[in-house]
Amino acid sequence: MKFGEREVVATVRRLQLRELRLWVREGWLNPAESEDGLLFDELDVARIRLICDLRKEMALSADAIPVVLSLLDQVHGLRRELRGLAEAVGQQPHETRRAIVDAYRIRLSSQS
């Protein structure tokens, strides 16, 4: 589902239109563009809520927000990669999967 700017502001009540536009200009949000204006999806709205929490509940400075967002984006990217790796390993023959698990356990125990 896609939302226009005013729909987003109506949905996220603690958000003002000028803030939303500023956050887009700052690059904190990357909504789709249409002939009618910016379109935000559900992930954008979740990110907007997170930014509201960071700014208004946790009182993070505007300088800290891009750092936090970048770190969260990296975490989500790594999770996607790990999920893909796990799926690839899961498609291997049993012996190969067993060898990977054993090698990983040895690696973990040597780091302790």
Over residues 48-59, the pLDDT tens digits come to 999 999 999 999
- Cα angle 72, 78, 81 (rounded to 5 degrees) comes to 145
- d(Cα 74, Cα 66) in Å, to the nearest integer? 12
pLDDT of amino acid 25: 97
Buried/exposed code over 26-36 (b: 16+ C-beta within 10 A; e: otherwise)? eebbebeeeee
pLDDT of amino acid 64: 97
What CATH number corresponds to the domain at position 67? 1.10.1660.10
Q: Name the amino acid, one letter, at 20.
A: L
- Cα angle 36, 41, 45 (rounded to 5 degrees) comes to 110
Does pLDDT of 112 surpass 90?
no
Q: With bands split at pLDDT 50, 70 and 90, how would you rate the model's confidence at 110? A: very high
Residue-number span of the structural domain to which 12 is assigned? 5-111
Number of structural domains in the chain: 1
User: Is 65:55 a contact under the CB 8 Å cutoff?
Assistant: yes
Over residues 60-71, the pLDDT tens digits come to 999 999 999 999
Query: How much is the mean pLDDT over the chain?
Result: 96
Query: Can you give the pTM of this predicted structure?
Result: 0.80
